[in-house]
Amino acid sequence: MAAFWKNINFAPLNLFRREEGFVALDIGSSSIKMVEAVGDKSGYRLVSLGILPLSSGAVQNNVVVEMDVVVDTIRSLVRANGVRATSVVSAVPGRAVIIKKIQLPAQGEEELEANVEFEASNVIPESLENVNLDYQILNYAEDGSRMDVLLVAVKKEIINSYTQVIQEAGLTPAIMDVDYFAMENMYEMNYEPKPDEAVGLIHIGARYTIINVLKNGVSTFTGDLPVGGEAFTESLAQELRVPYDEAETFKTTGVLDGKKNAHLETLLKPKCDSLANEITQTLSLYGAMAVEEGIHNIYVSGGSAKVPGLCAVLEKRLGVPVQLSEPFRSFSVAKNIDMDYLTESALALAVGVGLSVRRPGDK
């Protein structure tokens, strides 16, 4: 999927100074994830990565609210990891984006660009004056006489809140994408899609779970759930009557009161069942819309993807193979990278990985 927002004017900033390089910033609801990758003869090489937490109120309702906090966190990430790139590839959350598919007669790029705004005014439930609009040709139908076009729109106030903190951190916003499509890009970088095989990508963040179903290299269904890893931590804190921080440590390490506790998976099972039910219900919408057979494989990523027992519960509930994603599977790794930290953080960085290989002019 091509990078979106090519029509946004970041002038007078020069977006194509290659010597500066590009760095991906995934600004989430609870943390900022950074991935810097450079192209080489064999593909892409990871040169730096990092994650820093955000306060709970920094990003709310898909908008950066605490500007100073986010700016300082970006600066700290860049400084601590020795990032020299100044051009940023970032993303807005898919839940904040209006996505519509339309079909038009086959036409040239100039004619299409002139017609897209008119067509968008009929299907986008928002004044076009208030949104940034972009589009992408997906494929051609009816022996090439018609084309499927994806329209994407986001309110200007949302996208401006992200670009503003990037600029105030002393960096240049080069590309703004959508997390759905970054996930798609991560998958395509690391796996060999099979023709006519539908693949489900599930990214479990701190507060949200995003879903993207791909078929023949095209996103055919996207969805969001307002639940993520924080729900597991809160459940443990309530069940065990311990502070949130202790519950978070227990969730991620299995250690409670300084000792390994064998009951973690049992304690988490009700929340695993609940999330699996919601994911199943959401994916059933895809099944209802799909003409062909359903999903063949599911890849799970995100900071809470490794919650004990979750993948097994999903696999049993959905009846298809479920496995953890390998976001850096096809990347070579620079010598300075801490491999233990990379292994620990890889799943949380999946969206950042998809962003890290975006470049202006991608198609």
Q: Which domain holds residue 208?
A: 192-325
Number of independent structural domains in the chain: 2
Averaged over successive runs of 10 residues, the pLDDT of the chain (363 residues) comes to 45 38 94 93 91 93 94 96 94 91 87 86 85 87 85 92 96 94 94 87 95 88 93 94 93 87 90 94 77 80 94 93 96 94 96 93 65
Q: State the distance between the two ends of the chain, measured CA to CA, in whole angstroms.
A: 7
Whether 338 maps to a domain, the answer reads: yes
Cβ 186 vs Cβ 180: under 8 Å:
no
52/85 same-domain check: yes
Whether residue 250 is contained in a domain is answered as yes
| 275 and 245 both lie in a single domain | yes
Query: 334 with 359, same domain?
Result: yes
* Predicted pLDDT of residue 212: 94
- Among candidates 66, 37, 64, 69, which has minimal Cα distance to 53? 69
Residues 356 and 310 in one domain: no
121 lies in a domain?
A: no
Could you tell me if 270 and 177 lie in one domain? no
- Beta bridge partners of residue 26, listed in sequence order: 33
Packing angle, helices 67-80 and 156-168, rounded to 10: 50
**37 and 180 share one domain:** yes
Same domain, 163 and 278: no
- Decide if 111 is inside a domain: no
Write out the two tokens for 20. Answer: 């500066």
pLDDT tens per residue, range 197-236:
899 999 999 999 999 999 887 888 899 999 999 999 999 9
For the domain that residue 240 is a member of, what is the CATH number?
3.30.420.40
Residue 18 has what pLDDT?
38
Which phi and psi (to 5°) does residue 250 adopt?
-60, -45
DSSP 269-290: HHHHHHHHHHHHHHHHHHHHH-
274 and 355 fall within a common domain? no
Q: Is residue 140 part of a domain?
A: no
CB-based contacts of 165, cutoff 8 Å, min separation 6:
27, 64, 67, 70, 71, 74
Residue 201 lies in a domain: yes
- 41 and 187 belong to one structural domain: yes
Spatial contact of 348 and 303, defined as CB atoms under 8 Å apart? yes
Show the beta-strand stretches assigned E in the chain: 22-27, 31-40, 43-53, 59-60, 63-64, 87-92, 97-105, 131-141, 146-155, 172-178, 198-204, 209-215, 218-225, 255-256, 259-260, 297-301, 322-324, 332-333
